[in-house]
Amino acid sequence: MSRRNASDLRSARWYSAGGMRAFAHRQRMQQMGLRREEFMGRPVIAVVNTWSDLSPCHAHLRARAEAVKRGVIRAGGLPVELPALSLGEVIVKPTTMLYRNFLAMEVEELLRQHPIDGAVLLGGCDKTTPGLLMGAISMDLPAIYCPAGPMLNGRWRGTKVGAGTHTRKYWDEFRAGHIGEAEMVEIEGISTRSPGTCNTMGTASTMTSIADALGMTLPGASSIPAMDSAHPRMASACGERIVEMAWEDLKPSDIITDGAVRNALHVDAALGGSTNAAIHLVAIARRAGIAITLEDFDEAARQTPVLANIFPAGDALMEDFFFAGGLTGLMSRLADRLDLDQRNVTGGTLGEVIARARIDDDEVIRPLDNPVASAPAIAVLRGNLAPDGAVIKPSAASPHLLTHRGRAVVFDSHAELNARIDDPALAIDETSVLILRGAGPIGAPGMPEWGALPLPQKLLERGVRDLVRISDARMSGTHYGTCVLHVAPESHVGGPLALVETGDEIVLDVPNRRLDMLVPEEELARRRAAWQAPPKRFSRGYGAIFEAHVMQADKGCDFDILEAGEKTPEPDIF
Among candidate residues 117, 350, 136, 351, the one with its CA nearest the CA of residue 252: 136
Q: Quick one: residue 310, left, alpha or beta (phi over 0 = left, psi -120 to 50 = alpha)?
A: beta
**Which residues have C-beta within 8 Å of that of residue 463, sequence separation ≥ 6?**
none
Euclidean distance between CA atoms 365 and 323, whole angstroms: 10
Euclidean distance between CA atoms 202 and 267, whole angstroms: 14
Which amino acid makes up residue 30?
Q
Mean pLDDT of the chain: 96
CA atoms within 13 A on the CB side of 21: 8
DSSP secondary structure letter of residue 382 = E
3-state SS class at 215: coil
Instruction: Please name which of 355, 349, 372, 216 lies closest in space to residue 301, comparing C-alpha atoms.
Output: 372
What's the pLDDT at 564? 74
> What are the structural domains, with CATH classification, of the chain?
1-36 (no CATH), 42-153+193-355 (no CATH), 155-190 (no CATH), 379-530 (3.50.30.80)
- Which stretch of DSSP H or E encloses residue 508? strand 505-509
350, 259 Cβ separation under 8 angstroms: no
Q: Please state, in angstroms and rounded to a whole number, the distance separating the CA atoms of residues 155 and 568.
A: 50
The DSSP symbol for 448 reads: -
Antiparallel, parallel or unpaired: β 514-517 and 505-509? antiparallel
The closest of 292, 304, 300, 210 to 258, measured between CA atoms, is 292
Nearest alpha-carbon partner for 237 in 218, 219, 214, 223: 218
Q: Are strands 143-147 and 118-123 parallel, antiparallel or unpaired?
A: parallel
User: What is the spatial distance between Cα 561 and Cα 549, in angstroms, rounded to a whole number?
Assistant: 7
Give the residue ranges of the chain where pLDDT is below 50: none
Q: What share of the chain is helix, strand, coil (3-state, %, to 5)?
A: 40, 15, 45
Instruction: Tell me how many degrees the CA angle 565-569-571 measures, rounded to the nearest 5.
Output: 145
Give backbone dihedrals phi and psi of 39, rounded to 5 degrees, phi first: -125, -10
Residues constituting the chain: 574
The predicted pLDDT at position 573 comes to: 77
Measured CA to CA, the distance from residue 65 to residue 80 in angstroms comes to 10
pLDDT the model gives residue 409: 98
How many Å apart are CA 178 and CA 171, to the nearest integer? 10
Segments in 75-180 forming alpha helices (H): 100-113, 128-139, 165-175
Per DSSP, the residues of 466-482 read --EEEESS---TT--SS
Is the alpha carbon torsion for 487, 488, 491, 497 positive or negative?
negative
Q: CA-CA distance, 429 to 431, in Å (whole number)?
A: 5
In 3-state terms, what secondary structure has residue 514? Answer: strand
Strands in 118-123's sheet, in edge-to-edge order, are: 78-83, 44-49, 118-123, 143-147
